[in-house]
Amino acid sequence: MRSTVGSFSLFFLSLLLLLLLLLFISPNLASESDHKYQQEDSVTLWVNKVGPYNNPQETYNYYSLPFCQPSGNSAHKWGGLGEVLGGNELIDSQIEIKFGKNVDKSSICELQLDAAKVKQFKDAIENTYWFEFFIDDLPLWGYVGELQSDKNNDNTKHVLYTHKSITIKYNEDQIIHVNLTQENPKPLEVGKTLDMTYSVKWIPTNITFGRRFDVYLDYPFFEHQIHWFSIFNSFMMVIFLTGLVSMILMRTLRNDYAKYAREDDDLETLERDVNEESGWKLVHGDVFRPPRNLVLLSAVVGTGAQLAMLVLLVILLAIIGMLYIGRGAIVTTFIVCYALTSFISGYVSGGLYSRSGGKSWIKSMILTASLFPFMCFGIGFILNTIAIFYGSLAAIPFGTMVVVFVIWAFISFPLALLGTVVGRNWSGAPNNPCRVKTIPRPIPEKKWYLTPSVVSLMGGLLPFGSIFIEMYFVFTSFWNYKVYYVYGFMLLVFLILIIVTVCVTIVGTYFLLNAENYHWQWTSFFSAASTAIYVYLYSVYYYYVKTRMSGFFQTSFYFGYTLMFCLGLGILCGAVGYLGSTLFVRRIYRNIKCD
């Protein structure tokens, strides 16, 4: 039966991976454009968003500032679920650009400045507003204006850039690189009329289409020597911890087993040896006692197992498909992968709940399927309310919410239900190595450093140390406009995190059992989950030291998104730690003569 379950799980995961690959490769094959142009074909300049440079999530519609607006109804470009969730809204600027045709200087419009427009532009300049355009899915960036010193006095004046110089490099019939230069700054004065202009210059290049995104990748930053050193340092930590766990299993436990395996001892000698023993062997009658809040434990462990597989799948797909190229591709991949891997959460949760003697499996299934999505929804609802109040593009439209809910209700939830049914039916009856005693054993008082709370807090230090450097690169890419592309590094760090978490949790569980405390289930979970606490504390440091964010909007989004990330990381690590400790505990009690 176990081999059948394993084969089914392997087949299911293979099917998931195939579906995901087809899902994300096929849109690229059937995209809106094949990125090939004939001479003088129209090339669309899409305007996207504008906002303070130091606040990445505080973005607004480009035309929320009184720029030249296109006449009539302009086309909108919807690039997918992840693009909308990422706060993108592409609008056709109706600026005439022809493939291969230079434009020396052409007028966009004449901008008449009144007091309201001047105030809007001045506020934008004082807050260092920048904007984002797209040409053929390639981004262009520029600042709205700048503060210039007035030579006649010590005051500064606000100037608005009135000319956009666009340089486009092409290789035969494909666009390879785009660049925007802001020119001709003019002072903002009420009553003046500014002539907003643009120019286009086409330059041939030998760079291939497949390498056109290389210019956006910061190789010196991500492939710095410190990045390689962090991987080596984490690898050495793995060797140390695996050696420590091996020593516990091969030496300490082997010596303990010898006292129980002696065939020449009579009953009296054996009873004397057992009575003289202390530590983990004395709690064999309680160590497999069902933990408190079994429904919640099974839900978080099942969710964590799903998140672990989810992260692995997303990283592999990012390596294979270069998802950093597409706007919102990572977010879309994450949501779809989460829905399709919901079977894993149900299977792990249902099996754990059934093996532990739980009876309310429907309650466990519902909690497993809704725990993490509803936590994210709660945080997202608060952030979305703030974004709506500010009128930001970060506000999620109602239609997008409906799409996400439909994915959860019709894909994620049914798969979690199926997984729960399969898990509880195929897990079998409880088969613990030691029989659980009727009366719980009293837990003796021990040193403060052997209490579950201290073991839990200390357990997250080494896993956090193994991912500390990578957290800096991830945070910098997300909050400071860098494109994260080194998913090979992320895969190595993720695997190291899993190994370190399992080893640390096993050591902590062994110390706890030696202190004759058999409440190891929740302790092993929190010991690994405490990694997220240190990541969140690091995020506080990063916010105040490494960024220039300001304002209630950006601060709430920063700590809200980070909280969402840390909750997922904590559940993931907690589940990995619990499952590793479960294997360890069953292994060490397997050969004990309990009765």
Q: Where are the alpha helices (DSSP H) in 248-390?
A: 253-261, 267-276, 294-321, 329-340, 342-355, 361-390
Highest mean pLDDT among 29-33, 222-226, 234-238, 553-557: 553-557
* Alpha carbon 203 to its chain's center: 39
Quote the pLDDT of residue 550: 92
Quote the pLDDT of residue 494: 94
pLDDT above 50 for 468: yes
Quote the pLDDT of residue 152: 63
Quote the pLDDT of residue 153: 63
User: If DSSP codes are grouped into helix, strand and coil, which group holds residue 585?
Assistant: helix
Low-confidence winner among 235-239, 418-422, 494-498 (lowest mean pLDDT): 235-239
pLDDT above 60 for 527: yes
Quote the pLDDT of residue 520: 92
pLDDT above 50 for 332: yes
Quote the pLDDT of residue 482: 86
Quote the pLDDT of residue 338: 95
In tens, the pLDDT along 564-580 reads 999 999 999 999 999 99
Polymer length in residues for the chain: 595
Highest mean pLDDT among 77-81, 153-157, 236-240, 563-567: 563-567
Q: What is the DSSP string of 293-308?
A: SHHHHHHHHHHHHHHH
Average pLDDT over the chain reads: 85
Structure tokens given for 238: 């793995």
Q: Are 529 and 573 in contact (CB under 8 A)?
A: yes
Question: Can you tell me the distance from the alpha carbon of 528 to that of 583, in angstroms, rounded to the nearest whole number?
Answer: 15
Q: Where are the alpha helices (DSSP H) in 391-529?
A: 398-407, 413-426, 452-459, 461-479, 487-514, 520-529
Structure tokens given for 258: 């010898």
Selection from 492, 557, 425, 591 nearest residue 85 by Cα: 557
Q: DSSP 3-state helix, strand, coil percentages of the chain (rounded to 5)?
A: 60, 15, 25
Structure tokens given for 74: 């302009």
What average pLDDT does this structure show over 346-372?
A: 89
Low-confidence winner among 55-59, 312-316, 431-435 (lowest mean pLDDT): 431-435
Query: What are the backbone angles phi and psi of residue 225, rounded to the nearest 5°?
Result: -60, -35
Q: Are 165 and 154 in contact (CB under 8 A)?
A: no
pLDDT above 80 for 423: yes
Query: Which residues, listed in sequence order, are joined to residue 183 by a DSSP beta bridge?
Result: 163
Q: What is the CA radius of gyration of the chain?
A: 30
pLDDT above 70 for 84: yes
Quote the pLDDT of residue 288: 87
Residue boundaries of the structural domains of the chain: 41-216, 231-254+278-288+447-590, 293-431
Quote the pLDDT of residue 14: 43
Quote the pLDDT of residue 260: 57
Residue of higher predicted confidence among 147 and 3: 147
Residue of higher predicted confidence among 31 and 249: 249
* C-alpha torsion sign, points 74, 79, 83, 84: positive
Q: Are 227 and 489 in contact (CB under 8 A)?
A: yes
pTM for this entry: 0.87
Residues 6+ apart with CB under 8 A from 138: 175, 177, 178, 212
Distances (CA, A) of 166 to 40, 103, 203, 370: 16, 9, 11, 48
User: If DSSP codes are grouped into helix, strand and coil, which group holds residue 163?
Assistant: strand
pLDDT above 70 for 33: no
- pLDDT band at residue 29 under the 50/70/90 scheme: very low
